[in-house]
Structure 1
Amino acid sequence: MIANVHEFFDKEKREEQPIMVGNVLRRTSEALKVSEWSICNVLKEQHVEGDVSSPAKKGRKPSCGPAQQQTDNFLEGVIRQRVHRFYTNSELPTMKRPLLVLRDNVDYPYGRSTLYTTVKKMGFRYKTRNKKTALYEQHRIIAACHEYLRKILTFRSEGRPIVYLDETWLNAHHTREHCWIDYDGKGGLCVPSGKGGRLIILHAGWEQGWIADAELVFRGKTGTGDYHQEKNTKHFMEWCEKKPIPNCPSRSVIVLDSAKYHNSVVEKIPTKSSTKKAMTDYLDSHNISYDKKRLKAEIFMLIKACNPQITYLTDVVTVEKGHRVLRLPVGHCELNLTDLVWAQVKGYAAANNKDFTMAVIERFAKEGIQNVAAEKWKKCVDYVIREVKLHYRTYDGIVEQVVERLVIEVSNNDSSRSESEEIFVSDSEDVTDN
C-alpha cells in the first residue's frame, strides 16, 4: 500500500502536475491501486461505526487429516535407527526429539503428523505415563525379530544357502538429486517434470551373486502410488515357480518380506470379523461337528480351539522343490539386504540416465543388475550378519531396561492416570495401574 502511494506521488513529480485534483475518489483509487467500490465501503464503515477495522487475515484451509506421505523402505530404516539410538544413549525418544534429529541429519521433508503415522505403521507405540513419553516397539515385533535372527543363524550354521527375494522400481526420470551448479543457479541436467513411467524389477540373490535366470523386468501401468499395486499373487507365483525357485541352490532358505502377494494363503481362516456363514462353511469343509443354533461368537471360539495353522502358497511351492521360506518380521525391511543391492542398481541408473525414456532406464537397470557382482553381494551379506545382529541384540536389551525403569518409576510415584494421558498398546500387552 505504501509503495503504491509513493509511486503515485512520484508520477506526479515527474509529470510536474497533479493528477485528477477534482475527483477525490478517483484520485484515491489511483494512488492506492484499489477499486473505487472498496474505497466507498471503507468510507461508509467509518461514517457508521466511527472507525475502520482491519481486514481479517486469510488463514490456511483446514485439512481433512494428517498428510499421508509415502515413505520408502530406506527412510523407514533411518527412522528406526534414529529412534533406537536414543535408547542406546539411555534417553526416552518423544515424538519431537526424533523429528528434530531427522531434520538436522537427513533433511527429513515431512512434519510431525506424517512421522507419527509412519512410526505407528512400522510397529512402534507412543505411550504417555505420568507426563513421561516413550516410543518403543510392540513386544510381538521384538519377539518376531529375535526369532528371525535365531533361525537365520541356525540355517547358516547348517550351511544352507540364504536366498533373498525382493522387488523394486525405477522411474524414467530417475537421476541424481544433487549436482554441482554455478552460483547463479546455472548447471545440471534438464530433467522433465514428473517421475515418468515406472519400471518394476523382481530378482533374487545370495552371497555368491544373483540367482541365474531369475530376473524379471516389466513396465508398470502407472508411474505414481505404491508400486506393490502393480503386482498380484497370480503373477508373483507364476514368476516364482518358473524362475527363482527352480534355479536356487539345493536346500535353500528363501527370505521374503511382508508384501501381501508374498503371503497369500491356501485357505483363508475365518476371523472375528468374518460372517457366521463363512465360519460354518469352514467347519463343514473340515468335518467339524457343531450346533447350528450356537451364536457366532461361540462358533468362532470353536474354530479357535481347533488351532488352525496358516499355510502359504509360497511355502507349498518351495517345499516341493526342497527349499523353505523364512519371513522377515513386520516393519523390519532393513534386515532384507536386497535394499543395499537395489541402492547400487538405482545409483548406477541415476548416474547414467540422460535421456529419461523408458527404453533407456530399462537398459541401465539391467546393466546395473549385472554390475552388482558376487563380491558386492558378499559384502552386503557380511554387513547384515555383523552389524544388524549386534545392533538388535544391544538395542532391545537397553530398551527393555529403560522402559522397565519408566514403568517402575510411574508405579511408585503415581497410582492414577489423568484423563488427558493417552496410551497406545498392542493386543499382546496388558497394562494395569497399581
Structure 2
Amino acid sequence: MSKRGRTINSQSRALVVKLAEYFERESVNGGPLLPVTQVQDRVAEALGIGKKTIRNILKEKYGPSGTEENVLHTPKRRKKSKPVTGIETFDAHAIRNHVYAYYTRSEYPTRVSFLREMNKITSWDSVIFIDETWLNSNHTVPQSWTDDTKASCSKVPMGKGGRLIICHAGSAGGGFVNDALLAFESKSTKEYHEEMDANKFTDWFTNLLTNLPEQCIIIMDNASYHSVQIDKAPNQAHKKADLVAWLQRQGVEADVNMLKAELLRQVKENKPAKLKYRVDELALQHGHRVIRTPPYHCQYNAIEMIWAQVKGYAARHNTKPPFSTNKMMTFLKEACASVKKEDWVKVVEKTRKIIKEDYDRDVNIDNFIENEIIIFTGDDSSSSDFGSSSEENN
C-alpha cells in the first residue's frame, strides 16, 4: 500500500524503479545527464517512454493551451486493423454500381464545375489565393543542437502556448499581396476557423481589393465567413413575419394570415437559382471574380504550400525562450518577407498541374461511363435491342 493507502500496481512500480535508476546515473555523473530545461527529454529518458507519448499525455492533462487541469484516463487498447490488400468480386461490382449511379442520376461531384472553371484560366499570374491558418507561440523544431553534446540542445516548451490567427493572399504574379497580412492573437482554444467572423473577414477582404491588379480571379474555400449570402432565403426556423418580409422583398404577395407551410412553399419556389455572396459582389465591383474550392480539397489552394514554408521558417528561428505571441508575430512577418515570388511561381504551377490532372481524370471517367452504361427509356426498346438474329430474319 502507498503512503495514502492506495495500491501501486506493477506498471507504476516499474516506472519508480526506472526513475530511481535514472537519478542514480545522474548521481554518478555528478549532475544532470540532460539540461534541466529539457523537461520532456528528461522525462522520456528517465521513464524509458517515447517522447511522443510524453507529449500526448501532457496534452491530455493540460490541454492545447497548456493551462487546463484535466483528469487523465487510461486509453482503450485499439486493435490494429488489417490493411485492405484485395477485394471480392461481388464487393467490387457493388462499389462500381454505386459510383455509376451518381452519373445515371446526374449527381456529378461538386468539384467538376470548379475544375472546369479553373481550366479556362489563361493567365495564372492573376490568380489570387486566399486562406487562413494559425501559428502557436511554442511552435519550434523538436531539438536544436549547437555542438555534439546533449547539454547544448535548446529548450522545447511544453504545450502549444498562445496562438496567432493569420490571413493572407498571394499570387505567382507578385507573391504575397502588399499590406494584406492579417494576424491577431486568439482569445480562446476554439478551432481557428471559429476565431474569424464574417465582419472581420469582409473588412480585410475590402482592403485587399484595393491592392489587387485589374481583373483577378480570387480563390478561397467555402468557410462560412467567406460565404455570407445576400438576402438569404429564410427557412423552417424563421418566424412567419420573416418569411412574409422576404417574400415581399422578392415581389411576391404574402401576409401573416397564410399558413407557414404555404409561406415556406412560396419561399422554395422563389429562391434564386444562383446564390449571391457578399464578398463575391464586392469583388465584382472591383472587376474581380471569386471561385470557391470544393469542400475538403485544400490541394487546389496554392497558399497551403506557402503556409508550410512560413511555419518552417518560424519554427527554425523560434528556438530560445521566451516563447510568446509577440515574438512569434515578429517571426511571422520575417517568414512572409522571406517568401519570394519564385516560391509562389513553383507552388502555383504545381497546383495548376494537380487541377489539370484531376480534370483530365474526371473527363476520362465520364467517357468510360458513357461507353459502359446504356440507359433504356422506352418500353419496347430493350426487347428489340436484344432480339435474336433468328427473330430479325423472320
Tell me the TM-score normalised to structure 2 length.
Answer: 0.62
* 1:227 alignment partner AA: Y
Whether the aligned pair in 1 keeps the contact of 2:314 and 2:331 (CA below 8 Å) is yes
What aligned pairs does 1:211-360 form with structure 2 within 5 A after superposition?
A: 211-222=177-188, 224-242=189-207, 244-290=208-254, 294-308=258-272, 309-355=274-320, 356-360=323-327
The yes-or-no answer on 1:196 pairing with 2:161 is yes
* 8 Å Cα contact 1:163/1:204 also seen in 2: yes
Q: CA deviation at 1:296?
A: 2.7
Aligned residues, how many?
A: 285
Runs of 5+ consecutive residues of structure 2 not aligned to the other structure = 1-6, 11-63, 65-80, 376-394
Percent identity, please: 32
Computed over aligned residues only, the root mean square deviation of the Cα atoms, in angstroms, reads 4.1
Per-residue deviation, residues 302-359 of structure 1 (Å, max 9, x unmatched): 2222232422110121111111211111221221111101000001111111132222
Secondary structure at 1:341 match in 2: helix
Contact 1:269 1:310 in 2 (8 A): no
Matches within 5 A, 1:47-196: 143-154=109-120, 156-157=121-122, 161-177=126-142, 188-196=153-161
Q: Given that residues 170 and 200 in structure 1 are in contact (C-alpha distance below 8 angstroms), is that contact kept between their aligned partners in structure 2?
A: yes
State the 4+ residue runs in structure 1 displaced beyond 6 angstroms. Answer: 128-131, 133-141, 184-187, 399-402
Measured at CA, do residues 97 and 211 of structure 1 come closer, stay the same or move farther in structure 2, by a change above 3 Å?
farther
Q: Distance in 2 between matches of 1:159 and 1:131?
A: 41
1:210 partner amino acid: F
1:168-201 Cα offsets, whole Å, 9 max, x none, are 1100000234778xxx998854222211001122
CA contact 1:142–1:396 (8 Å) conserved in 2: no
Q: Is the 8 A contact 2:220 2:290 kept in 1?
A: yes
Provide the residue aligned with 1:385 in structure 2.
352
Deviation readout 1:73-95 (Å, 9 max, x if unpaired): xxxxxxxxxxxxxxxxxxxxxxx
Describe the SS at the equivalent of 1:247.
coil
The 1:245/1:131 distance shift into structure 2, 3 A limit, reads same
Give yes or no for contact 1:165–1:204 (8 Å, CA) kept in 2.
yes
Aligned-partner SS, 1:389: helix
Output the CA distance in 2 between the equivalents of 1:187 and 1:399: 60
For residue 372 of structure 1, what is the aligned residue in structure 2? 339
Q: Against the structure 1 CA distance between its residues 159 and 197, is the aligned structure 2 distance closer, same or farther, given a 3 Å change threshold?
A: closer
SS of 1:319's partner is: helix
Matches within 5 A, 1:15-26: none
What letter corresponds to residue 363 of structure 1 in structure 2? T
Output the CA distance in 2 between the equivalents of 1:310 and 1:344: 36
**Cα 1:227–1:136 shift into 2, 3 Å:** farther
| Separation in structure 2 between the aligned mates of residue 136 and residue 187 of structure 1, nearest angstrom | 57
1:178–1:278: structure 2 CA closer, same or farther, 3 Å change rule? farther
CA distance, structure 1, for counterparts of residue 336 and residue 249 of structure 2: 47
Residues 216 and 284 of structure 1, relative CA distance in 2, 3 Å threshold: same
Equivalent AA in structure 2 for residue 217 of structure 1: A
* CA–CA distance in structure 2, aligned partners of residues 363 and 378 of structure 1: 25
Matched-pair contact (CA < 8 Å) for 1:265–1:311: yes
What's the TM-score, normalizing by structure 1?
A: 0.56
Distance across 2 between alignment mates of 1:212 and 1:136: 45
Question: How far apart are residue 291 of structure 1 and its match?
Answer: 6.8
Residue 129 to residue 300, structure 1, CA distance change in 2 (3 Å): farther
In the alignment, the residues of structure 1 paired with residue 201 and residue 125 of structure 2 have an alpha-carbon distance, to the nearest angstrom, of: 24
Moved more, 392-401 or 362-371: 392-401
Per-residue deviation, residues 281-317 of structure 1 (Å, max 9, x unmatched): 2112333114755433332222222232422110121
> What amino acid sits opposite 2:344 in the alignment?
W
- What is the distance in 1 between the residues matched to 2:346 and 2:284? 29
What is the one-letter code of the residue matched to 2:327?
V
**1:130 CA drift (Å):** 10
Unaligned runs of 5+ in 1: 5-69, 71-95, 102-127, 409-434
Return the offset for 1:159: 7.0
Deviations 1:2-24 (A, max 9, x none): x99xxxxxxxxxxxxxxxxxxxx
The alpha carbon displacement at 1:388 in A equals 3.5
Distance 1:97 1:318 in 2: 50
User: Is 1:141–1:330's contact at 8 Å kept on the other side of the alignment?
Assistant: no
**Aligned in 2, Cα 1:129/1:248: closer, same or farther, shift over 3 Å?**
same
Q: Displacement, 1:153? A: 2.1
Cα distance, 1:271 vs structure 2: 2.8
Is the CA contact 1:173–1:196 (under 8 Å) kept in the aligned structure 2?
Answer: yes
> How far apart, CA to CA, are the structure 2 residues paired with 1:130 and 1:206?
43
What is the CA-CA distance between 1:273 and the residue it aligns to? 4.5
1: CA distance between counterparts of 2:318 and 2:107? Answer: 40
Matched letter for residue 176 of structure 2: W
